[in-house]
Structure 1
Amino acid sequence: MLQFIKQLVVAIALSFYLFSIGFPFLPAGVNTKMMLAILGVIFLVFEWLNTKKITVSWEMLGATGFAIIFSLICYFTTDFNHTSDYSYANYFVTFFVWLGGAYAVCTIMRATHGTANLRLLTFYAAAVCFGQCIIALIIDRIPAFQKFVDSLIEQGQDFDRKIGRLYGIGASLDSAGIRFALILLLIAAVLSKDQQVRASRKTTVLLLIAFFTIAVVGDMIARTTGVGFGLAIVYFMLNIGFLQFVIKKEHFKFYAIFGGMLLLTVAASVYLYNTDVNFHSDMRFAFEGFFNWSEHGEFKTSSTDKLNDVMWIWPSDLKTWIIGTGRFGHFIFSTDIGYCRFILYCGLVGFSVFALFFVYNAIVFAIKYKMYRDLFLLLLIYSFIIWVKVSTDIFFLYALLYCMDMERYQKYHRRKLT
């Protein structure tokens, strides 16, 4: 029982990290991510008091350098353009908040399991995202529960209700979709490469239940989930012999379980689509492109039409192309597209550094986790894909990996800087 409570605390901490929320009794802007960051600093101080040192990897110092340089460029562009929009001039603060929160989560995980690694992160993240999907369905279908959640948590849910979108506890819109997408990739990677996971039928089944639930319900919450699902399927195809004509013996059990879960998911989805009004409308939204393709012969969605028609807005002069306008917030250029917003804000100079930051992170962990090199390649591809839709990033995942990396350095005493 005690171990279960500890595991529940890890899951809650990770949920508060990935899907941060505020509370009505706290000042506006204070959320669980910030609380975890403060907790992470406290843990770090205790670590320093116990060991008399703080160990930081050279790779993390490199990432810190990128974050600071990008922030300085953004600060320069705001100063040069005489604006006070420091949306990304303060990125180094966001960087350290994510690191602090990640350190707290990893410390709690290590206290429960004795270690914090990619496998454990995938297990907990899959459970958290699965739970968010179930909670979103319950909120959508039980008004009393929705009222209860909304009274306790502040997460901008008024907008979600206004546009008729599903939401969980901190999980809504593209922010949730990006997290769902990344977790689908992690699940695909662990199922494909981790022999300890593949050897357990129970673990495989549970991960695939989470995988297909997140793929379907997550897409109802935000269609950015679908990109991650597509990349996860590509990962499976490349690593488990889907493209081969001969089924290897070691893959046969996984094929059987995967195929069975896929059939069950399709059957359940078709049944609910035809019998449940809410599920019907949610499916129409989630897979709008496929429905338009099957019914009208054209793969398109209302959001992509809007993006293509009115949101590709580029600089109109050379100065803006180079250093930007220093304006980002308040939807000032009437576009959601990440590429446009970044370049309009800090120009190609700032955007190039920001893009290289994620190339750097992907390379660092592709080297660290040689078995998962293709995972980090797909994470890098996803980083560039999402900027077609929104102006956000996936450093929150790398922050967790950097903190796990620090623990490995402390344990094995490899290339450390004190």
Structure 2
Amino acid sequence: MIRIILYILLGILTSFYLFPVGLTILPDAFNTKMVLALVGGLLFGYNSLQERGISVQMGLLGAVGIALFFSIVCYIATDLNNTADYAYVTYLGSMFTWLGGAYMVCMAIKGLHGRCNFRVLTNYLAAVCFVQCGLALLIDNHEGFQLLVDSYVQQGQAFYEDKDRLYGIGAALDTAGVRFSIVLLMISALLCHDEQVRKSTSAIVALLLVFFTVALVGNMISRTTIIGLAGGMLYAILFSGLFRFEIRFSALKLGIWATITLVLVVAIGTFLYRTNDDFYGHIRFAFEGFFNLVETGEWRTGSTDKLNNEMWIWPEDTKTWIIGSGIFGSFVYATDIGYCRFILYCGLVGFSIFSLFFVYNGLFFMNRSGKYATMFVVLIVMSFIFWVKIATDIFLIYALFYCVDEFVSSGNNDDGLLMIND
């Protein structure tokens, strides 16, 4: 019983990292990510003192260097344009905040499980996303529970209510869709490559249930989730082993259970679609493009129409193209598109460095993990697809990977580590 409680508490801790929120018990300027980062930083300092030295990933130092360079370019953009919009000038600080929070989460996982590898981390992230989807439906259908959540959690819920959007505890809009997408890809990679998972029917069924539930409800929360669904399905097609001349039993078992789980989720979804008006509306929103394709013969959604017709806004002079206007916040340019917002803020110079940052992180982990190498290639591609819809930062997932045992210790002994001893 005590261990189950610890699992739940660790799940809450992971959720506070993956989906940060403000709480009424915290000062207004703080959210759960900042608290985790503070505790994680103190824990890292304590562990370093105990080990009488600091272990730092060499790859992480390269990432820090690129992030520092990006922050400097953003500062130059604001300085040249006489603005005080420091949204990404402080990006290096944001990076260390994610790293501190990630260290706290991974050390907590290691403390409870004795290790923090890709499998265990993915299981927790998957569980958190699954629960968030359930919370979103519960908040939408139970007014008492919604009032309870809203009385303790500060997450801009008034805006979600005004726009009639589903939300969980910190999980809402495109930010949630991006995180759901990443976790869907990780689940697919785990099912394809982890032999321990593929040998366990219960693990396969649980992960497939989470995958299809998050794919369904996650799209109701944010249609950006479709990127992860497409990426995860494509990954499974390529690497599950089902589409080879010689099909192994483990691949066949995975395919059978995937089919059964998909049919079950579709059946339940269809039943609710036909019997529940709220669910009907959410499904119509989630898969608007598919419904329009079937009913009108044209793939289109309200959001894509707005993106295509209104939000492709580019600089109008050479200086802005090169170094930007130094303006990111306040929705001055009336666009959500990441490419437009980043270039308008810090120009092609800043955007190129920011792009390099995510390519670098993806390639670093691709080289550190032969088993999951292709997953990191897909993650790089997804980063650039996300920016078509929203200006977002997915370093939070790389921060976790920098703390995962098998990525830290892969290679020969301390290969890839910088040891600083006193």
- Per the normalisation by structure 1, the TM-score is 0.97
Does the CA-based 8 Å contact 1:366-1:376 persist in structure 2? yes
CA shift, 1:250, in A, is: 3.1
CA shift, 1:48, in A, is: 1.8
Alignment of 1:18-417 (within 5 A): 18-244=18-244, 247-404=247-404, 408=409, 412-417=413-418
CA shift, 1:255, in A, is: 1.0
Alignment deviations for residues 151-203 of structure 1 (CA, whole Å, 9 cap, x no partner): 11101111111111111111111111111110100000000000000000000
Residue 370 of structure 1 aligns to a residue in which SS?
A: coil
Looking at structure 1, the residues matched to 130 and 280 of structure 2 have their Cα atoms a distance apart, in angstroms, of 20
Alignment deviations for residues 19-77 of structure 1 (CA, whole Å, 9 cap, x no partner): 11111243323100000000101111210221111100110000000110000000011
Q: Quick one: structure 1 residues 391 and 145, their matched pair in 2 at CA, closer, same or farther if it must change by over 3 Å?
A: same
Give the structure 2 partner of residue 10 of structure 1: 10
CA shift, 1:259, in A, is: 0.6
Looking at structure 1, the residues matched to 11 and 253 of structure 2 have their Cα atoms a distance apart, in angstroms, of 29
Looking at structure 1, the residues matched to 363 and 346 of structure 2 have their Cα atoms a distance apart, in angstroms, of 24
Of 196-205 and 48-57, the range deviating more from structure 2? 48-57
Does the CA-based 8 Å contact 2:77-2:324 persist in structure 1? yes
Looking at structure 1, the residues matched to 272 and 284 of structure 2 have their Cα atoms a distance apart, in angstroms, of 12
Looking at structure 1, the residues matched to 39 and 8 of structure 2 have their Cα atoms a distance apart, in angstroms, of 18
Looking at structure 2, the residues matched to 230 and 12 of structure 1 have their Cα atoms a distance apart, in angstroms, of 28
Does the CA-based 8 Å contact 2:98-2:399 persist in structure 1? yes
Alignment deviations for residues 338-361 of structure 1 (CA, whole Å, 9 cap, x no partner): 000000000000000000110000
Residue 127 of structure 2 aligns to a residue in which SS?
A: helix
Identity over aligned residues, as a percent? 50
Looking at structure 2, the residues matched to 240 and 206 of structure 1 have their Cα atoms a distance apart, in angstroms, of 17
CA shift, 1:251, in A, is: 1.2
Alignment deviations for residues 57-113 of structure 1 (CA, whole Å, 9 cap, x no partner): 110000000110000000011001111110011101110000000000011111111
Q: 1:361 corresponds to which letter in structure 2?
A: N
Alignment deviations for residues 197-218 of structure 1 (CA, whole Å, 9 cap, x no partner): 0000000000111111100000
Looking at structure 2, the residues matched to 232 and 104 of structure 1 have their Cα atoms a distance apart, in angstroms, of 28
Q: Quick one: structure 1 residues 179 and 62, their matched pair in 2 at CA, closer, same or farther if it must change by over 3 Å?
A: same
CA shift, 1:412, in A, is: 4.0
CA shift, 1:393, in A, is: 1.5
Q: 1:274 corresponds to which letter in structure 2?
A: R
Q: Quick one: structure 1 residues 411 and 37, their matched pair in 2 at CA, closer, same or farther if it must change by over 3 Å?
A: farther
CA shift, 1:400, in A, is: 0.3
Moved over 6 A (4+): none
Does the CA-based 8 Å contact 1:409-1:416 persist in structure 2? no
Does the CA-based 8 Å contact 2:191-2:240 persist in structure 1? no
Does the CA-based 8 Å contact 1:314-1:340 persist in structure 2? yes
Looking at structure 1, the residues matched to 4 and 272 of structure 2 have their Cα atoms a distance apart, in angstroms, of 33
Does the CA-based 8 Å contact 2:57-2:408 persist in structure 1? no
What count of residue pairs does the alignment treat as equivalent? 418
Looking at structure 1, the residues matched to 411 and 283 of structure 2 have their Cα atoms a distance apart, in angstroms, of 47
Looking at structure 1, the residues matched to 270 and 247 of structure 2 have their Cα atoms a distance apart, in angstroms, of 29
Q: 1:215 corresponds to which letter in structure 2?
A: A
Looking at structure 2, the residues matched to 232 and 409 of structure 1 have their Cα atoms a distance apart, in angstroms, of 25
Looking at structure 1, the residues matched to 178 and 386 of structure 2 have their Cα atoms a distance apart, in angstroms, of 8
Residue 313 of structure 1 aligns to a residue in which SS?
A: coil
Q: 2:380 corresponds to which letter in structure 1?
A: L
CA shift, 1:9, in A, is: 2.3
Q: 1:163 corresponds to which letter in structure 2?
A: K
Of 330-339 and 5-14, the range deviating more from structure 2? 5-14
Alignment deviations for residues 241-292 of structure 1 (CA, whole Å, 9 cap, x no partner): 4444664433111111001001111111111100111110000000000000
Looking at structure 1, the residues matched to 412 and 268 of structure 2 have their Cα atoms a distance apart, in angstroms, of 46
CA shift, 1:12, in A, is: 1.2
Looking at structure 1, the residues matched to 305 and 125 of structure 2 have their Cα atoms a distance apart, in angstroms, of 33
CA shift, 1:407, in A, is: 5.3
Q: 1:137 corresponds to which letter in structure 2?
A: L
Residue 54 of structure 2 aligns to a residue in which SS?
A: coil
Q: 1:416 corresponds to which letter in structure 2?
A: L
Looking at structure 2, the residues matched to 295 and 100 of structure 1 have their Cα atoms a distance apart, in angstroms, of 49
Residue 97 of structure 1 aligns to a residue in which SS?
A: helix
Residue 403 of structure 1 aligns to a residue in which SS?
A: coil
Alignment deviations for residues 278-328 of structure 1 (CA, whole Å, 9 cap, x no partner): 110000000000000000001110000000001000011111111001011
Of 402-411 and 295-304, the range deviating more from structure 2? 402-411
Q: Quick one: structure 1 residues 163 and 245, their matched pair in 2 at CA, closer, same or farther if it must change by over 3 Å?
A: farther
CA shift, 1:410, in A, is: 12
CA shift, 1:10, in A, is: 1.8
Q: Which runs of 5+ in 1 are unaligned?
A: none
Does the CA-based 8 Å contact 1:57-1:409 persist in structure 2? no
Q: Which runs of 5+ in 2 are unaligned?
A: none
Does the CA-based 8 Å contact 2:199-2:250 persist in structure 1? no
Looking at structure 1, the residues matched to 401 and 330 of structure 2 have their Cα atoms a distance apart, in angstroms, of 32
